[in-house]
A and B are shown apart, each in its own frame.
Chain A
Amino acid sequence: MVKPPDFIAAMTGSLDEEAARHMVTRTPQTQALGFQFVSISEARGAIRVPWRADLVGDPETGVIASGVVTTLLDHVCGLSIRAANAVPQGTLDLRIDYMRPARPQADLVADGHCYKLTRTIAFVRALAHDGDPDDPVATAQAAFALIGGGA
């Protein structure tokens, strides 16, 4: 049996898949939202949130609330920074554009890419889609302060 890495390893060690899975599924809020680890690669990460009735924003449409998308995009940005072997201290700003409503009862997947690291700051783009990454539900642009960067 694989011993789960502790939280500190997930937040500060080099990011193997087990630590990434831990980061996505084992913080209280992501656990409450039911986040699932999809993948990591160089400076990139992906997370899925399965549709659930209690996460809906407008019961007339059955679409997942935009607030859930906010947390999904914020978290996938942090994951892609870790996948670039940097350690995020916290989000500085996060801009989200909602292109279109998600399909009713659709799961959402978010893809993040940390495209630039400085000594103190990580710059990240992310998008959320309900099946086709070329037709996103929302896109995001974020800047994060890095640990050890003196920010």
Chain B
Amino acid sequence: MSLETTPAERLAAFLARTPYIAFLGMRAELAGDEMTAILPFSPHLIGNTLLPALHGGVLGAFMEMTALAQLAVITGGPRPAKTIDVTIDYLRPGRPMDTYARAEIKKAGRRISSVHVEAWQEARAKPVAAIRGHFQTPTEG
């Protein structure tokens, strides 16, 4: 565990080392120990040009990356956690605008963690999507 690093350093390291996060254009901010992930709108995220709406897979992937980022912030290992399973609930269409997400670690286990994430756009109380997932803590070395 590299807990001599700060949460902000661990978050920055996770975001910087993951090529797919750059593909999405995802960012994240820390306020104390609370992380907010931000997915700025970009035309390449659209899955339905008629509505238009963000691709459902993009919302799911964004929330999964938010869970992994939150785990990186609290556990601080050099390797990211591995996704075991996710269940995505789609609540409202993802409109062509910025999306935000926060993760809540329900249980941080030695080997397996359980994380819930909600994503919203205009109002935190009207989430567009949510996930529950299990993530495997990477083994050191």
Binding site for B on A (CB under 8 A): 7-8, 11, 27-32, 53-60, 65-68, 70-75, 90-98, 101
- The interface residues of chain B lying within 8 Å CB-to-CB of A28 are 43-47, 49
B contact residues vs A (CB 8 Å cutoff)? 17-20, 22-24, 43-50, 53-58, 60-62, 64-65, 79-80, 82-90, 93
Whether B44 contacts A67 by the Cβ 8 Å rule is no
**How many angstroms from the CA of A29 to the CA of B23 in the assembled complex?**
11
* Cβ 8 A contact of A94, one of B45, B79, B80, B88: B88
In the complex, residue of chain A having the shortest beta-carbon distance to the beta carbon of B47: A29
A-chain residues with CB within 8 Å of residue B17 when the two chains form the complex:
58-59
Contacts of A30 in B (CB 8 A): 47, 55
Chain A residues near B53: list those with CB within 8 A.
90
Pairs across A and B, CB under 8 Å, 9 listed: A7-B49, A27-B48, A29-B44, A59-B18, A65-B18, A70-B60, A71-B56, A90-B53, A91-B90
Least Cβ–Cβ distance between B13 and chain A, in angstroms: 12
Once A27-B47, A71-B57 are accepted as A-B contacts, the answer to whether A93 and B89 lie under 8 Å apart by CB is yes
A55 near B64 with CB under 8 A, answer no
Assess whether B18 is in contact with A58, with CB atoms less than 8 Å apart. yes
Q: Which residue of B lies closest to A141 (CB)?
A: B87
**Interchain CB contact (< 8 A) of B82 among A29, A54, A92, A98:** A98
